[in-house]
Chains A and B, each alone.
Chain A
Amino acid sequence: GNSVTQMEGPVTLSEEAFLTINCTYTATGYPSLFWYVQYPGEGLQLLLKATKADDKGSNKGFEATYRKETTSFHLEKGSVQVSDSAVYFCALRGTGGFKTIFGAGTRLFVKA
Chain B
Amino acid sequence: NAGVTQTPKFQVLKTGQSMTLQCAQDMNHEYMSWYRQDPGMGLRLIHYSVGAGITDQGEVPNGYNVSRSTTEDFPLRLLSAAPSQTSVYFCASSYSRGEVGTGELFFGEGSRLTVL
Contact = CB atoms under 8 A, between A and B. Distances in A.
Contacts of B50: 98
Contacts of B42: 89, 102-105
Interface residues of A, number: 21
Nearest to A45: B107
Interface in A24-66: 32, 34, 36, 42-46, 49, 51
Interface of A: 32, 34, 36, 42-46, 49, 51, 89, 91, 93, 98-105
B96 interface: yes
A44 B104 CA distance: 11
B108 A32 contact: no
A90 B105 CA distance: 13
B43 A89 contact: yes
Given A98-B48, A99-B58, A100-B103, 7 more contacts: A32-B102, A43-B90, A43-B109, A44-B107, A51-B101, A91-B105, A99-B33
